Amino acid sequence: MEHRMNLWNDSFLSIKSGIKTVEMRLNDEKRSLVCSGDKIIFTNASTKEEMAVKVIKTVVYKDFFELYKHYNKFEIGYTEDEINDPLDMYQYYSKEKIDQYGALAIEIELI
């Protein structure tokens, strides 16, 4: 199956460079359909450039606090000088939505 998702420029470039290997999303109805072996087309929200990745594995967590315990900061898109903090995810998703759906780690590789 093929999925389409938008990414901010910094996340897009981090995946493109091979540093970020885990995309984090809310495990809502749309994202819960993503499975190992699927293809995701990411679109850079700034430049509209696209890139394809293959889904290696998906893991569902109760919340982003649990997800962050299982990956190093580079895998999930942080840089050397940034502190990886699960509270950062509240800029994208409300606590209510996270409590309702949980968090999804999508382990990926460039195609």
CA distance 62 to 40: 23
CB atoms closer than 10 angstroms to residue 102: 18
pLDDT score at 92: 95
Tokens standing for residue 65: 């606090």
Give the mean pLDDT per block of 10 residues along the chain (111 residues): 97 96 98 97 98 98 98 96 96 97 98 95
Q: What is the per-residue burial (b if ≥16 Cβ within 10 Å, else e) of 12-51? A: bbbbbeeebbbbbbbbeeebeebeeebebebebeeeeeeb
